[in-house]
């Protein structure tokens, strides 16, 4: 039995609603810092309930809980080294949040995850690319930001450029690239990560059909080399072709986990039955 | 083959400055500095000439208004070199602080997509300004020749004052970059704060103008010591502040420790707030 690459226990992430859009101003900070002692005082007088206690009748507390949304709630899963696991679910089901937590972009609110091996996050195409720099310069910059060493990048440089099919333009600033060229080079850098664990988020939505096939092949190869891949996608066909096992996330929790064909068929069934339920 | 085990958990709340991690990511730090330098003057006509024009033009203006019109004292030094010797560290400091403050917000896209120690961003912002400093310094050497001022052995102490300026920029930059990620008020307040700070430092006037009873508190401003240090080391003037470098160094050290702690507290949630 191979070793566990990723193990999460009760992994949860709570966002404050509006946190992503609204920036608190300095006035809010001052207001908070003036109010905080009073609130602490009141809590000390109330004494009995810890914050977040569901039985509290206080109005301010129920507002507090309404202002939060759990993007991921109590997710426990295990992924063995060398497995390719698909993650499916509708928009807002927590797929991206799960990858963000595992790639350490953001911290969990509760629970934890143990990750064995270097994690490469392919959450985006062109992470760290700068339009003014040339293809060559961006390859090194983006590679370094994604976690490759300079030696690794230099070692695989020709391979990356050939994969992206941009040999002729490698010393041209990428702001002069066509969209396709840009996406190919950007994906190529990410696709040559030598990390033991790859977190892939719908990156293959980029490029034309031929290049997409190439990218899928690349991920399949990564798996054959014994690396662990978590693959988030809405393209169920891609998941079916790539992943032995899949996890279906629904409203931040695991709805079903198991062999990909089972999970996908249940998922599709649920998708088609939703309108039936709402009309009937 | 090494397979490190990483535990991802909610913020622990204790300060553990992960110097080892910064060391492990030194190549990325190098790439970020290199990128900053490479990109800074892209699509400008004058290019790196801006590194020289900024302090040089300010020097000309100060010489005209504070020098020839207002006739402020300059410790017996020609006005141009008196001002330029102060603008050399000051312009570096002001630019480094500015770059560091904006770096987190400017990198919000990268921050949302991949992990690396976020603290590399303000560090690289502060260090990449040293190239501009070096260019401006070449002009200073030319001015020394023009005014026939021979540096003494004191010039060897210059790196010490430069180090103090770098540390001060990083210490404040850590605070402001994290604060700016949460409160965009910082970006509007910063230009005024920097300007006020300049007048609280002996850039446009000598420290000897400060009443003696106030000098000890004036000397706690690290940039006052940096600027007087530059004049002392390069131009052979006296030490009007009469303080030890340890006072401002301690101030910078405390600001730096606090800055790292605050930055680290914010770091885990930066991706959620920028």
Q: Which residues in chain B have Cβ-Cβ distances shorter than 8 Å to A111? A: 9
Q: What is the pLDDT of residue A211?
A: 81
Tell me, yes or no, if B114 comes closer than 8 A to chain A by beta carbon: yes
Distance CA B87, CA B112 (A): 37
Q: Report DSSP state, residue B240.
A: T
With a pLDDT cut of 70, the percent of chain B lying above it is 96
Q: What is the pLDDT of residue A45?
A: 66
> For the segment B164-190, what is each residue's pLDDT rounded down to a tens digit?
999 999 999 999 999 999 888 999 999
In contact, B105 and B243? CB cutoff 8 Å: no
Q: Which residue has the higher pLDDT, B76 or B193?
A: B193
> For the segment A153-169, what is each residue's pLDDT rounded down to a tens digit?
999 999 999 999 999 99
Confidence label for A216 from pLDDT (cuts 50, 70 and 90): confident
Distance CA B169, CA A170 (A): 36
> For the segment B16-59, what is each residue's pLDDT rounded down to a tens digit?
667 788 888 999 999 999 999 999 888 788 888 889 999 999 99
Q: Residue B107 domain-assigned?
A: yes
Strands (E), chain B: 5-8
Distance CA B228, CA B198 (A): 13
Q: Which residues in chain B have Cβ-Cβ distances shorter than 8 Å to A102? A: 8
Q: Which residues in chain B have Cβ-Cβ distances shorter than 8 Å to A113? A: 7-9
Q: What is the pLDDT of residue B242?
A: 77
DSSP letters, B81-112, are HHHHHHHHHHHHHHHHHHHHHHHHHHTHHHHT
Q: What is the ipTM of this complex?
A: 0.86
CA angle B31, B32, B38 (to 5 degrees): 85
Tell me, yes or no, if B10 comes closer than 8 A to chain A by beta carbon: yes
Q: Which residues in chain B have Cβ-Cβ distances shorter than 8 Å to A10? A: none
Inform me whether the pLDDT recorded for B273 exceeds 60: yes
Q: Residue B31 domain-assigned?
A: no
Query: If we measure between CA atoms, which residue out of B64, B54, B59, B63 comes closest to residue B92?
Result: B54
Distance CA B214, CA B232 (A): 20
Distance CA A73, CA A77 (A): 12
Q: CA A195: distance to chain centroid?
A: 16
In contact, B93 and B223? CB cutoff 8 Å: yes
Of residues A19, A104, A137, nearest to B272 (C-beta): A19
Q: What is the pLDDT of residue A207?
A: 67
> Tokens in use for B202?
């002996």
As for how many domains chain B has, the answer is 1
Distance from CA of B1 to the nearest CA of A (A): 10
Tell me, yes or no, if B12 comes closer than 8 A to chain A by beta carbon: no
Q: What is the pLDDT of residue B249?
A: 94
H/E segment holding residue A253: strand A253-259
Q: What is the pLDDT of residue A67?
A: 77
Q: Residue B40 domain-assigned?
A: no
Q: Is the CB of B110 less than 8 angstroms away from the CB of A145?
A: yes
Of residues A105, A147, A196, nearest to B271 (C-beta): A105
Mean pLDDT of A103-128: 89
In chain A, count of helices (H) and strands (E)?
A: 9, 9
Domain range for B241 is 47-273
Confidence label for A21 from pLDDT (cuts 50, 70 and 90): very low
Mean pLDDT for chain B? 90
For an interface test with A, which of B25, B105, B114 has the most A Cβ atoms less than 10 Å from its Cβ? B114
Please report where in the chains the tokens 């999970």 appear, as a residue: A263
Q: What is the pLDDT of residue A209?
A: 81
Chain A residue with minimum CA distance to B24: A149
Q: Is the CB of B183 less than 8 angstroms away from the CB of A24?
A: yes
Q: Give the Cβ contact number of residue B45 at 10 Å.
A: 7
Confidence label for A46 from pLDDT (cuts 50, 70 and 90): low
Residue A275 DSSP SS3:
helix
Q: Residue B30 domain-assigned?
A: no
In contact, A267 and A248? CB cutoff 8 Å: yes
Burial class (CB in 10 A: 0-12, 13-18, 19+), B138: exposed
> For the segment B218-249, what is each residue's pLDDT rounded down to a tens digit?
989 999 999 999 999 999 888 877 778 899 99
Return phi, psi of residue B258, to 5°. -60, -40
DSSP β-ladder status, A197-201 and A228-232: parallel
Residue A8 DSSP SS3:
strand
Chain B residue with minimum CA distance to A8: B8
In contact, B47 and B163? CB cutoff 8 Å: no
Inform me whether the pLDDT recorded for A48 exceeds 50: no
Q: What is the pLDDT of residue A5?
A: 92
Query: If we measure between CA atoms, which residue out of A153, A182, A150 comes closest to residue A166?
Result: A182
Distances (CA, A) of A276 to A16, A270, A272, A280, B226: 33, 10, 7, 6, 74
> Tokens in use for A179?
């969209």
In contact, A229 and A198? CB cutoff 8 Å: yes
> For the segment B250-271, what is each residue's pLDDT rounded down to a tens digit?
999 999 999 998 998 888 778 8
Q: Which residues, other chains included, contact B201 with Cβ-Cβ below 8 Å and sequence gap of 6+? A: B86, B90, B221, B223, B224, B227
Distances (CA, A) of A221 to A82, A88, A215, A245: 11, 21, 10, 17
Confidence label for A44 from pLDDT (cuts 50, 70 and 90): low
Q: Is the CB of B4 less than 8 angstroms away from the CB of A137?
A: no
Cβ pairs A/B, distance under 8 A? 115
Q: What is the pLDDT of residue B186?
A: 93
């Amino acid at each position: 039995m191979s070793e566990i690459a990723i193990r999460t226990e009760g992994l949860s992430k709570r966002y404050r609603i509006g946190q992503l859009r609204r920036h608190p101003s300095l006035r809010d900070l001052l207001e908070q810092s003036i109010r905080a002692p009073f609130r602490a005082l009141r809590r000390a007088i109330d004494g009995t309930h810890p914050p977040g206690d569901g039985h509290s009748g206080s109005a301010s507390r129920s507002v507090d809980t309404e202002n939060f949304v759990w993007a991921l709630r109590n997710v426990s899963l295990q992924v063995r080294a060398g497995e390719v696991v698909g993650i499916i679910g509708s928009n807002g089901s927590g797929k991206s949040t799960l990858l963000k937590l595992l790639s350490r972009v953001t911290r969990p609110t509760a629970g934890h995850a143990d990750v064995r091996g270097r994690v490469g996050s392919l959450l985006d195409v062109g992470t760290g690319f700068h339009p003014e720099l040339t293809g060559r310069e961006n390859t090194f910059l983006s590679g370094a930001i994604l976690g490759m060493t300079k030696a690794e990048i230099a070692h695989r440089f020709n391979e990356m450029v050939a994969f992206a099919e941009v040999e002729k333009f490698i010393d041209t600033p990428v702001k002069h690239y066509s969209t396709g060229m840009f996406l190919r080079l950007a994906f190529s850098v990410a696709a040559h990560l030598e990390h033991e664990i790859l977190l892939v988020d719908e990156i293959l939505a980029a490029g034309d059909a031929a290049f997409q096939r190439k990218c899928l092949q690349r991920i399949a190869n990564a798996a054959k080399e014994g690396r662990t891949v978590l693959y988030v996608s809405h393209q169920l066909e891609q998941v079916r072709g790539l992943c032995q096992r899949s996890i279906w996330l629904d409203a931040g929790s695991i709805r079903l986990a198991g062999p990909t064909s089972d999970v996908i068929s249940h998922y599709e069934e649920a998708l088609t039955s939703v309108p039936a339920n709402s009309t009937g | 083959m090494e397979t490190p085990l990483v535990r991802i958990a909610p913020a622990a709340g204790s300060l553990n400055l992960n110097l080892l991690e910064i060391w492990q990511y030194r190549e990325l730090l190098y790439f970020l500095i290199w990128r900053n330098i490479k990109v800074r003057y892209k699509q400008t006509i004058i290019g790196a000439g801006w590194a020289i024009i900024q302090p040089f033009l300010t020097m000309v203006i100060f010489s005209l208004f504070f020098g020839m019109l207002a006739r402020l004292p300059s410790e017996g030094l020609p006005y141009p070199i008196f001002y330029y010797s102060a603008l050399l560290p000051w312009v570096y400091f002001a630019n480094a602080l500015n770059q560091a403050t904006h770096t987190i917000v400017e990198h919000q896209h990268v921050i949302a997509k991949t992990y690396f120690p976020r603290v590399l961003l303000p560090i690289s912002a502060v260090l990449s300004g040293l190239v501009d400093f070096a260019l401006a310094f070449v002009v200073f050497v030319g001015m020394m020749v023009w005014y026939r001022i021979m540096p003494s052995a004191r010039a060897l102490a210059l790196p010490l004052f430069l180090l103090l300026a770098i540390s001060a920029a990083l210490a404040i930059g850590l605070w402001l970059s994290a604060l700016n990620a949460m409160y965009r008020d910082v970006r509007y307040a910063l230009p005024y704060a920097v300007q006020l700070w300049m007048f609280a430092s002996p850039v446009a006037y000598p420290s000897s103008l400060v009443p003696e009873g106030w000098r000890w508190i004036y000397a706690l401003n690290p940039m006052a010591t940096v600027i007087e240090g530059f004049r002392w080391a390069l131009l052979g003037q006296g030490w009007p502040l009469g303080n030890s470098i340890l006072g401002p160094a301690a101030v910078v050290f405390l600001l730096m420790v606090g800055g790292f702690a605050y930055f680290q507290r914010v770091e885990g949630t930066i991706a959620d707030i920028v």
